[in-house]
Every structure is written in structure tokens, then in C-alpha cells.
């Protein structure tokens, strides 16, 4: 694993909170189709793996949101890239806080 990316998409000018959630759900479904082990949180979804695939997903998620009905989207990303050294995994970072959920 060489990259870890946190993605937050915020559809703009939707008609309701329900519509916003529906659109975000479509974005998450797309992300999970590429990264089945994505970590979905209340503010962002984290993916980890090949850098180029992570960037492809980050790029495409904007198109997914527009296609789902938003006329604009604000996307915030945090990217950690370490091709030589590798990264701490999501499990290593937060797994201990979610052990009782398993």
C-alpha cells in the first residue's frame, strides 16, 4: 500500500437533506466498488492502496455526484503518499476503537 486518501464530497444546491444523503450514498457505493474495504465515517470515506487507483477514484467521485443530481460538488481530500516506506493502515490507526463492533 502506497497511498491513503480521505474523501469528503459535499453535493451543492440539493433540494433536501434526503437528496444530499442519496447522492452521497451513490458516491460511497462507487468508492466501495473500487475499494470494498473502504472505511466510511460520518464526515469522510478513507481508502488505501495503489496511488493511481486512489487518484482515479478521487477524480471519478465528482462525476458520480454530478450524474446523481447535484449541480455542483465540493470535494475535500487528504492524501498521504509513501511509495517507498508504506503506510499505517486504517485498521492500525483506529481498529482498537472499533473492536467491540466486530
**Domains, the chain, ranges and CATH?**
3-101 (3.30.70.930)
Q: Which pLDDT score is estimated for 9?
A: 97
Average pLDDT of the residues of the chain: 94
Burial 9-33 (b: 16+ CB within 10 A, else e): bebeebeeeeebeebbebbbebbee
pLDDT band of residue 88 (cuts 50, 70, 90) is confident
pTM across the whole model = 0.88
pLDDT band of residue 102 (cuts 50, 70, 90) is low
**Residue 89: how many other CB atoms lie within 10 Å:** 15
Q: Average pLDDT for residues 24-29, to the nearest whole number?
A: 98
Amino acid at each position: 500500500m502506497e497511498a491513503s486518501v480521505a474523501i469528503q464530497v459535499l453535493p451543492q444546491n440539493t433540494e433536501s437533506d434526503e437528496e444530499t444523503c442519496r447522492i452521497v450514498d451513490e458516491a460511497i457505493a462507487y468508492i466501495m466498488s473500487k475499494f470494498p474495504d473502504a472505511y466510511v465515517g460520518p464526515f469522510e470515506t478513507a481508502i488505501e492502496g495503489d496511488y493511481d487507483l486512489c487518484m482515479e477514484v478521487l477524480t471519478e467521485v465528482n462525476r458520480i455526484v454530478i450524474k446523481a443530481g447535484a449541480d455542483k460538488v465540493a470535494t475535500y481530500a487528504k492524501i498521504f503518499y509513501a511509495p517507498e516506506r508504506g503506510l499505517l493502515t486504517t485498521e492500525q490507526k483506529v481498529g482498537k476503537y472499533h473492536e467491540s463492533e466486530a
